[in-house]
Amino acid sequence: MAKIFPSINNVNVSEKNPQIQIYGHRLYKDQTLYEYLLEFLLLFSSKKGGSSYKSADEGFSFFIPSDGGALYYYPSPKIGLKRFIFFNHSDQEKRFEVDKEALDLHRDNIRRLFKISNNEYNEEFVLNVLQDLFYGFNAITGKRSWFAQSLIPLSPEMIFCEAIGNKNDRTKLYDDLKKAGDISNDFNHIKVDQKFNFDQHAFMARGGEVYYLHVAQGLQLMDSTNTDSLVTGLKNIITSVPQLSDIASFIQENWETVVDPHDQSHEEEIANFHYVKKRVEFIPTVYEKRACYAVEELTNLINCELDPFEKIELTGSLIALQIIRMMSMRATEALNKGDSQEWLIDLTKNSKGAIRKLAVQSYEQLELNIYSAVHQADIDEYLKKNIKMTEVKALDAAAKDTNLLVRKIAKATGFLIPAKGTNMRFSLNEDLVKVLVLSLVKPGERVLFSTFLSKCYEHFKIIIGLKEASMHYAKKDMTHLIDFDENEKIFLQLLKDCGFLRDLSDATSIVENPYKG
């Protein structure tokens, strides 16, 4: 049985599905790229501790239990704020009557606080401005119901936990409250906010939790100054617009004053209304082999002086690269190949060239490794516990959360091309070049171009130039190594076009991170 982090008492990893056994609990196909970042920041910023809310810390931490107990976190669902922002922008068929009445009550209560001296505007106009102000920062909407949408994380109040509302449940709730004849009762509106599923993990599917554990794993191996620097940098990102924080708090707190009965006989309901209790699971201990790299990369990037919007976008892309790196390393380790899976980057335009062929073969092998690794799981115990599951079905399902998941998030960043079609291979666009430079070179510092290529290989197993190709393929018959010179020259020009390369002489170039910390 694989060793896990953190060490949790009474957890039988062999009872889990094959992909969880190998890659941790859990990485899931339906989680979008942005939701990895949002879930990570939600866990980071929320109160955390053991199974008791009263003993939880104040959040903005990388707490990990050391007593064999599981890690729990306690995010605030903030349903009132979420409904205020998203409800009126959602599809009509996804607006339930019980939420419409709750929103009307909320808006009425805020409206009474306004004092408008300009006759050209009224309270309704101001409410709509506030609503649209926040909706303008939407990150994930699409065809989702209002309660499954998300915002760009520019303040802690704008980071929502998952909440899934079932149509039948919410319709029944409305009917039951109508029959009781007291739908406007304060305590009933607490029920309106509580009747969501906060533990379905459909969108916030634990990928951000896996990443949090990976970063925390690295911090435990490093000096405490690394923790301080990372915590400060992350906190600065999600407190970058304090005005938004103030307005969001005002809207949510107004709703809470309306519906919170301050009645200790309803202590459990009040607790569930103000926070939900979520348990974090585990990752394989072997991820620690690159955990310190993950901390270094993330710390470098978030401490750059960048526009908050851009920093958030780049951090999301970095997390995607790091998760793919974790999985590719874990796969080859599970297959007893060591950390041997290269990421061969093809920047050439020659569809018949040697590098194109090698890059396509390399990516094919990466996907094959990531899927093959789940065959190393102890599937017998899992099948005994899930009697309707067969080995064929279990391994077929595993593909969606392993190699196909990697394909999905790699394409979402532009790291895997083409977006559609055959001959899939890794490449780099300007955004990914920026992610690599800002995560591998400390803010305001510079390194030789040759050193930067070495760092790309050391951290990510990225091969672009001749030196790294020669080293990696030393034991293979490689007759086309000279083609890597062209690849390297294209990368040099790409760095220059992005503003990260300076030529000191004809033979010497440096890569510079111009964004000081």
d(CA 208, CA 153): 14
Do the domain assignments include residue 183?
A: yes
Q: Give 484-517 pLDDT, tens digit per residue.
A: 999 999 999 999 999 999 988 877 899 999 998 7
Do the domain assignments include residue 119?
A: yes
Q: Give 281-315 pLDDT, tens digit per residue.
A: 999 999 999 999 999 999 999 999 999 999 999 99
Please tell me whether residues 19 and 127 are part of one structural domain: no
Residue 479 has pLDDT above 70, yes or no: no
Residue 266 has pLDDT above 80, yes or no: no
Please tell me whether residues 409 and 494 are part of one structural domain: yes
Whether the CB-CB separation of 267 and 407 falls below 8 Å is answered with: no
The helix (H) or strand (E) run that includes residue 362 is helix 354-372
- CA 257 → CA 110, 190, 261, 372, distances in Å? 11, 11, 8, 54
CB within 8 Å of 227: residues ≥ 6 apart: 62, 219
Last residue of a domain, one of 170, 194, 218: 194
Please tell me whether residues 103 and 17 are part of one structural domain: no
Please tell me whether residues 158 and 9 are part of one structural domain: no
Backbone angles phi, psi at 94, to 5 degrees: -105, 10
d(CA 16, CA 182): 45
pTM, rounded to two decimals: 0.95
CB within 8 Å of 268: residues ≥ 6 apart: none
Task: Give the pLDDT band of residue 477 (cuts 50, 70, 90).
Answer: low
What integer is the mean pLDDT of 354-382? 95
Please tell me whether residues 1 and 113 are part of one structural domain: no
Q: Count, in order, helices (H) and strands (E) of the chain.
A: 21, 14
Place of tokens 């990369």: 297
Please tell me whether residues 364 and 511 are part of one structural domain: yes
Please tell me whether residues 18 and 115 are part of one structural domain: no
Do the domain assignments include residue 215?
A: no
d(CA 369, CA 371): 5
Q: Are strands 343-344 and 462-463 parallel, antiparallel or unpaired?
A: parallel
Q: Give 376-426 pLDDT, tens digit per residue.
A: 999 999 999 999 999 999 999 999 999 999 999 999 999 999 999 999 999
Please tell me whether residues 16 and 113 are part of one structural domain: no
Residue 45 has pLDDT above 50, yes or no: yes
Please tell me whether residues 373 and 501 are part of one structural domain: yes
CB within 8 Å of 124: residues ≥ 6 apart: 111
d(CA 516, CA 506): 27
Q: Residue 483's pLDDT is what?
A: 84
Structural domain span for residue 377: 1-24+339-517
Structural tokens at position 358: 């090698």
Q: Residue 269's pLDDT is what?
A: 46
Q: How far does CA 482 lie from the centroid of its chain?
A: 39
Number of domains in the chain: 2
Please tell me whether residues 11 and 113 are part of one structural domain: no
Residue from 96, 213, 78 nearest 145 by CA: 96
- CA 465 → CA 166, 424, 451, distances in Å? 53, 20, 12
Last residue of a domain, one of 194, 212, 228: 194
Type of residue found at 268: E
Last residue of a domain, one of 168, 194, 220: 194
Please tell me whether residues 3 and 118 are part of one structural domain: no
Range from 54-63, 204-213, 265-274, 419-428 carrying the lowest mean pLDDT: 265-274
Indicate the SS3 state at residue 113. coil
Do the domain assignments include residue 364?
A: yes
Do the domain assignments include residue 126?
A: yes
Q: Residue 481's pLDDT is what?
A: 72
Collect contacts of 489-498 with beta carbons under 8 A, ≥24 apart: 490/347, 490/348, 491/345, 491/347, 491/428, 491/464, 491/465, 492/449, 494/347, 494/428, 494/430, 494/433, 495/433, 495/437, 495/449, 497/430, 498/430, 498/433, 498/434, 498/437
Residue from 3, 151, 135, 5 nearest 64 by CA: 5
Do the domain assignments include residue 462?
A: yes
Please tell me whether residues 352 and 500 are part of one structural domain: yes
Do the domain assignments include residue 29?
A: no
Do the domain assignments include residue 310?
A: no
